[in-house]
């Protein structure tokens, strides 16, 4: 069947099987391998993308179900060479080691800050509880999201680094 999805503002249209999962539809698109395919069981959160602004585990949605919706992946965060504050925060505060969970963490954090610009640590921990990081112990991730919340306006600059 033909499936057409708006990914990061561009319409991507392909002939796929109905059973094609969103994560594979995304990753099979040139330039869009940033979304990670992890546990495949909706537990780990590495595959989180935004659908109409809400975090979604893309391993547990059919591509066909997403037609007509707007998908945002981790590639949409950086604009004109400028990192999104959540990306900059992860960089500043060493919120990743291996980086496998990072795309999902970043998109989940982006959605949180879009709806709640000044979250408490508890709210951040709740928001990212659908993601599993085996490296950091989450402390630096929470700190990075707080950093992003404090640098939302004007975005981070290299001078602050």
Q: Which is nearer to another protein, 3 or 93 (CB)?
A: 3
Q: Quick one: which of 108, 115, 114, 113 has its CA closest to 130?
A: 108
Q: Which is nearer to another protein, 70 or 155 (CB)?
A: 70
- Regarding 18 and contact with another protein (CB under 8 A), the answer is yes
As a residue count, the chain comes to 161
Taking CB under 8 A as the criterion, the residue among 6, 42, 146, 152 binding another protein is 42
Q: Quick one: which of 67, 75, 69, 71 has its CA closest to 14?
A: 67
- Regarding 6 and contact with another protein (CB under 8 A), the answer is no
Contact region with another protein (CB under 8 A), list: 7-15, 43-51, 79-87, 91-99: 43-51
- Is residue 108 within 8 A of residue 130, CB to CB? The reply is yes
DSSP 60-105: GSBGGGGTTSEEE-GGGT-BTTBPPHHHHHHHHTT--SS-SSHHHH
Q: Binders of another protein among 65-104, rule CB under 8 A? A: 65, 67-68
Give the binding site for another protein (CB under 8 A): 1, 17-19, 21, 40-43, 45, 48, 54-57, 60-62, 64-65, 67-68, 108, 126-127, 129-131
């Amino acid at each position: 069947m033909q499936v057409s999805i708006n990914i990061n503002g561009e319409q991507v249209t392909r002939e796929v099987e109905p059973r094609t999962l969103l994560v594979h539809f995304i990753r099979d698109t040139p330039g869009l391998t940033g979304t990670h395919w992890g546990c495949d069981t909706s537990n780990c959160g590495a595959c989180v993308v935004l659908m109409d602004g809400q975090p979604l585990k893309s391993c547990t949605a059919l591509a066909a179900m997403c037609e007509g919706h707007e998908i945002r992946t981790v590639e949409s965060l950086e604009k004109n060479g400028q990192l999104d504050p959540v990306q900059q925060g992860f960089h500043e505060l060493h919120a990743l080691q291996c980086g496998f969970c990072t795309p999902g963490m970043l998109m989940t954090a982006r959605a949180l800050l879009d709806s709640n610009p000044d979250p408490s640590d508890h709210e951040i921990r709740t928001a990212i509880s659908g993601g599993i990081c085996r490296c950091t112990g989450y402390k630096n991730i929470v700190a990075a999201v707080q950093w992003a919340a404090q640098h939302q306006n004007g975005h981070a600059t290299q001078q602050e680094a």
